[in-house]
Amino acid sequence: MLLSTRGLSKQFAGLRAVEGVDFDLPKGEIHALIGPNGAGKTTLVGMISGRIAPTAGRVLFDGQDITRLPAHRRMRLGMAYTFQITSVFARLSVAENVALAARRRAHGGQVNAVIDEVLERVGLPDRKDQEAGDLAYGHQRLLEIAMGIAQRPRLLILDEPTQGLAEGEIEGFKILIRDLAQEATILLIEHNMHVVMELAGRITVMNFGAVLAEGTPEQIRASREVQAAYLGGTSDAAAG
What domains appear along the chain, each with residue ranges and CATH number?
Answer: 3-231 (3.40.50.300)
In angstroms, the Cα distances linking 234 to 36, 86, 176, 193, 238 are 10, 25, 26, 9, 9
Q: In order along the chain (240 residues), what is the average pLDDT of each group of 10 residues? A: 98 92 97 94 95 97 97 94 77 95 82 95 95 93 93 94 90 94 96 95 96 96 89 46
Give the pLDDT score at 82.
Answer: 84
Count H helices, E strands: the chain? 9, 10
Q: How many CB atoms lie within 10 A of CB 87?
A: 13
Cα separation of 183 and 236, whole Å?
29
pLDDT for the residue 235:
39
Is 190:158 a contact under the CB 8 Å cutoff? yes
- Determine the pLDDT at residue 7: 98
pLDDT given for residue 103 in this prediction: 86
Q: How far apart are CA 25 and CA 103, in angstroms?
A: 27
The pLDDT assigned to 84 comes to 58
pLDDT value, residue 234 = 41
Q: Are strands 202-207 and 30-34 parallel, antiparallel or unpaired?
A: parallel
